[in-house]
Structure 1
Amino acid sequence: MKIKIALFGRNELIERMNDYVDNQDDIEIIPFAYSKAVENIDLIDKAFMCDVYLFGGSLSYLYAKEKIERKRLPAIQVAFDEYMILTSFYRLKNYHNQELDRISIDVLYKEHVDEVISELQMEDREIYTYSYGDDAVLDIGKIFHYHKKLFQEGKIDYVLTSIEEVEQRLIDEGIPTSCMVIPKLNLERAVEKAKSIATLNKSKSAQIVSGFVQIKNFEDIVSKKGEFVAQEMLLKLHQILLKFGHKTYASVLTNGDNQFSIFGTRGILDHITNHYRDFPLLQEIARSLGVPVEIGFGLGLTAKQAEDNAKLALETCVHSEESSCFIVNERKETIGPLGVAKHVDTSELYHALIHRARLNNELSYNFIDFINLRNNEPFSANDISNYYQVTKRSAERTIHKLLAGEVIRVVGEEKPYVKGRPRKLFELTL
């Protein structure tokens, strides 16, 4: 079955992308053309049958970002990186006969321009950069007036913009300007990344989740409070689990003798991975029943594998006197306890990521979110790949930087469920 990629861009970009994927039988481009980037806010609702959302411009992505995050859509944007800036400088000098001096430029992140300027040893040139990725509110007018003011003050002779709408407004004002052209390499990488994400998500959706839930020390409750009270607790527990099953598209069965089974796929898996720190199910059961409970979840590619792993997770709960919940994944890795927030000094971690691992601001903040989301549990390069929605190779580059900066260390290996090398597990050194 073909991977359906929703492409949001102007007609020229869509035509270029169609030419590139013309001979690729495994993907299908579903075009969503716009004349103004703000139109993406509404266009994104029309792409519900697509596997992944690809944005051909930073501006179009930023307009849709709030909706993307709220709906947790698998979305990426064509990279506006150092390579794009470098090729834009080349075009500016050779096609437009403009010296790389007395110019202004707007980009998503200023760091990309700074790196190119440093690499080309152009620190003495008058190059002004506007970084709209730092703006709290996206305002095209603000970007336009930034360039216009510099031109009127006689500080620049030319504008290089990454936004077509800004280009048109500057041209209307008679200000020499041109818009960056996305390099073919960046388009190719974006398509490959989109394919990787879609393939990963389809694989993830096939994963089965099994769970067991039971009241801790149930026999003691029966002997102390009586059979009637104990059965009332089981009824309450069953009702809570049915509500949880409805929310996560999972099935809930009663095994009798104080045990319930849960079976599900993507819905329950997403819920679990989004609530490592504050597992609401555990809190609701504790409030309603007033007694400790044990919950074990297992992940697997088959129902039998998921059930066996859920039993292992449930056995881990025995070591706690309080309510507890653990997960054993398809690699026999135990995660938990869920709902117990582990302290992470985010200030110290951020400093280490910036100064020791040499990550940029965006990667640093994302990694901190990743650590907090997983509740500071050990992780693999595969987990990084899943979270960032990047290729495994890209995730491994991040891991290499973190190891080189001694921000993380190796603490073990995953037991693969297919043939191949075991994958390393890492944890913070802080």
Structure 2
Amino acid sequence: MSIHIAVICSSDFADRLKQIEKELPSIRLDYYLYRIPQDSAEIIRTIKPCDAVFFSGSLSYLFAKKEVECLPIPSHYLQQDETSIATTLLSITKKHEIPIQKISIDLIEPQIINSVLGDIGFIFLPKIYQIDETSDVKAIINFHHNLYESNQTSLAVTSMQLVFEKLQQLNIPVIRMIDPRSSIIKGILETKNKAEFAKSQLAKIAVGYIQFRANNLPTESDLLNFANFFKSELIEIAPHLYMIYSTQGDVLNIFDYLTEKEWINISSKPFKVAFGFGIDIQDATHNAKDALQFAKVNTAYIITDEKKLLGPYPHSVRQVQLQASEPKLAEIAKQTTLSPANVSRVIQFSRTHNSTEFTAHDLEVFLQVSRRTTERILKKLVDTGFAKIVGEEMTYQQGRPRAVYELNFPTYV
């Protein structure tokens, strides 16, 4: 299965990356274009389900950093490093024959250019404008324009597509900072590695304990509720203590989107829940036992493989409340004729599912509804363009192959 990466970049960078996509096997790229890097924060709210996000530069990443930190998937950005600076300067000396001191350049980390020129023995430096998240595009344009008009420079080098276009309109000689082909490929592959690592972490084993009071044991209905809730069989290891096996991803997803109502309705008897993550079953079991010591009545705690204590749940849960008044949710509900609650649950499924692709069975298990209801929901989403069929899988020797779906609207809000 390919890794699905959302690329946030300028149109120029997208055109360049599309030329080398064939060198990136098992990677699928979707492009989200900005005019200026500041737009990247808003773009984050529009990306569709994917495995990772890649920014074409550190500036666009900086502007979206707050939004990126809320994403449940990894991100990466292409750094403007010594290779990029050296390649750009080499291109200038070869094609333009302009002295370094007659160049104006905007970039994020001026010390890089100082280091590159110092290493090769250059005494003179170009005119430098340091960009940061507070930088104004007009100020950058004026910097290059004023230096050129006063005959202090003969060429401008910019890291921003919009600045490049504006300087061209002013008839100022300008080139874009060059991102070497090798650096772009390396950046995309590092993003892929981050996505695969995140998936592998979520697939690690988790051991859980569910403890009841000895004089207040659970009913069969209570045990069934826990088994359905954690999607795992309960193993009785004592008259009042049960063990379950799951994965880190499933456990974190359950608690991340847990509601008070779901938690209250899970059992008619008082209980404690504890989970442990670890590098193996023994380590995970040990952490689960330690976590159980922290749990109070009707609460849950987790101890990770890094010995971090998470909880108490459900009170510390990072809940995402999707109200019917939200424009996106209301619009999808209106067009599909699905209830806002069903749309909300589908979005919740997308955030917790470990792949951008899924089957009707995957959604059915999550929603805890009948196959017929699930297929009706999917049909309405497909008919209105909010989901699409991207393939099929044959699980058994006989019978029809299962359709494989992908949601076609933003779910990271």
Query: Is the TM-score greater than 0.5?
Result: yes
Whether the 8 Å contact between 1:316 and 1:326 is mirrored in structure 2 is: no
Paired with 1:71 and 1:53, the residues of 2 have a C-alpha distance of 9
Q: What secondary structure does 1:197 align onto?
A: helix
Alpha carbons 1:59, 1:163 under 8 Å: kept: no
Equivalent position of 1:48 in the other structure: 48
Aligned residues: percent identity? 21
Q: Could you say which structure has the higher helix fraction? A: 1
Post-superposition offset of 1:20: 1.8
Secondary structure, counterpart of 1:297 in structure 2: strand
How far the C-alpha of 1:189 sits from its partner, in A, is: 0.7
Identify if the C-alpha distance between structure 1 residues 73 and 315 changes in structure 2 by more than 3 Å, giving closer, same or farther.
closer
Q: Which amino acid aligns with 1:266?
A: G
1:48 CA drift (Å): 2.3
1:27, CA displacement in angstroms?
1.7
Matches within 5 A, 1:14-25: 14-22=14-22, 24-25=24-25
Using structure 2 for the length normalisation, give the TM-score: 0.57
Change over 3 Å in CA distance of 1:315–1:130 after alignment to 2: same
Q: Give yes or no for the alignment of 1:128 onto 2:100.
A: no
Give the distance between the partners of 1:250 and 1:115, measured in 2 at CA.
55
Structure 2 residue 130 is the aligned partner of structure 1 residue 156 = no
Equivalent position of 2:115 in the other structure: 115
Aligned-pair Cα RMSD in Å: 4.4
* Aligned 8 A contact 1:251 1:264 in 2: no
Unaligned runs of 5+ in 1: 220-226, 275-292, 340-430
Q: Deviations over 1:347-366 (max 9, x none)?
A: xxxxxxxxxxxxxxxxxxxx
5 Å matches for 1:249-260? 259=241
What is the alpha-carbon distance in structure 1 between the residues aligned to residue 159 and residue 102 of structure 2?
Answer: 17
SS in structure 2 of the partner of residue 8 of structure 1: strand
Aligned to 2:182: 185
Shift of 1:151: 4.0
Give the residue type in structure 2 aligned to 1:265: Q
1:313 match = 287
How far off its partner does 1:46 sit? 4.1
* 1:73/1:146 CA distance change after superposition, 3 Å: farther
Q: Is the 8 A contact 2:277 2:304 kept in 1?
A: yes
- Whether 1:57 aligns to 2:53 is no
Cα 1:153–1:82, aligned 2, differ >3 Å: closer, same or farther? same
* Aligned-pair CA distance for 1:33: 3.7
Structure 2: how far apart are the matches of 1:321 and 1:15? 54
Give 1:32 deviation, angstroms: 2.9
Can you list the C-alpha shifts for 1:251-272, whole angstroms capped at 9, x where unaligned?
A: 7979675546564532545899
Task: Judge conservation of contact 1:312–1:328 (CA < 8 Å) in 2.
Answer: no
Q: Which amino acid aligns with 2:277?
A: G
Letter of the 1:27 partner, please give it.
I
Tell me the secondary structure at the aligned position of residue 19 of structure 2: helix
- Please show how residues 385-404 of structure 1 align to structure 2 within 5 Å: none
Displacement of 1:152: 4.9
TM-score (norm: length of structure 1): 0.55
Match of 1:298 among 277, 281, 285: 277
CA distance in 2, matches of 1:311, 1:265: 13
Q: Residue 82 of structure 1 aligns with which residue?
A: 82
* Change beyond 3 A, Cα 1:86–1:251: same
Instruction: Say whether the 8 Å CA contact 2:105–2:128 is kept in structure 1.
Output: yes
Secondary structure of 1:130's counterpart equals strand
Kindly indicate whether the alpha-carbon contact (under 8 Å) linking 2:36 and 2:160 is maintained by their aligned counterparts in 1.
no
Deviation for aligned residue 1:70: 2.2
Partner of 1:172: 169
Amino acid at match of 2:126: I
Q: Give 1:197 shift.
A: 1.4
Q: Secondary structure at the match of 2:121?
A: coil
Is it true that 1:202 corresponds to 2:212 in the alignment? no
Structure 1 residue 100 displacement after superposition: 0.9
Counterpart of 1:6 in structure 2 is 6
Unaligned runs of 5+ in 2: 257-271, 312-413
* Contact persistence 1:102–1:125 (CA under 8 A): no
